[in-house]
């Protein structure tokens, strides 16, 4: 079982950038596909991006394509979400998720979750 801890959230002005980090337990990291999700108050948890266990394949939601980049550093057991050109509608709690095997683009496909990190984008 992999354990996940997100960090890097905060307050940023519209048009700014943040990089979120997700630290995972070692040894199992390379066996898991990873995803980033977000959830705003009163909303369903929304898929943002996913990366394969090898890091060779990525997939993005249309809402963030071209603005967000997911990557992983195997040596550091860490997954990142680089967020550029942030908009007020990006305000949400951001979650890192993991599952064994291929990635999914829906929350129900993941069974390991971090605690979340708040991202607030001001206008």
Q: Which residues pair with 6 in a beta bridge?
A: 22
Confidence of residue 56 (pLDDT cuts 50, 70, 90): confident
Q: What is the pLDDT of residues 82-102, one digit of tens each?
A: 999 999 999 999 999 998 888
pLDDT at 103: 85
Query: Is the Cβ–Cβ distance between 31 and 40 less than 8 Å?
Result: no
The chain-wide mean pLDDT, for the chain, equals 92
Q: Which two tokens stand for residue 91?
A: 């305000």
Which single residue is written with the structure tokens 């908009």?
A: 87
User: Is it the case that residue 28 has pLDDT exceeding 70?
Assistant: no
């Amino acid at each position: 079982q992999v354990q996940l801890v997100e960090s890097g959230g905060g307050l940023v002005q519209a048009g700014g950038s943040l990089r979120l980090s997700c630290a995972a337990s070692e040894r199992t990291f390379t066996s898991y596909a990873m995803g980033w999700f977000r959830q705003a108050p009163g909303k369903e948890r929304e898929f943002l991006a996913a990366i394969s266990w090898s890091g060779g394949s990525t997939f993005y939601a249309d809402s963030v394509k071209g603005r967000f980049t997911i990557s992983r550093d195997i040596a550091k057991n860490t997954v990142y979400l680089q967020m550029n050109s942030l908009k007020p509608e990006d305000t949400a709690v951001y979650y890192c998720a993991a599952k064994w095997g291929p990635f999914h683009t829906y929350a129900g496909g993941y069974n390991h979750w971090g605690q979340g990190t708040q991202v607030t984008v001001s206008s």
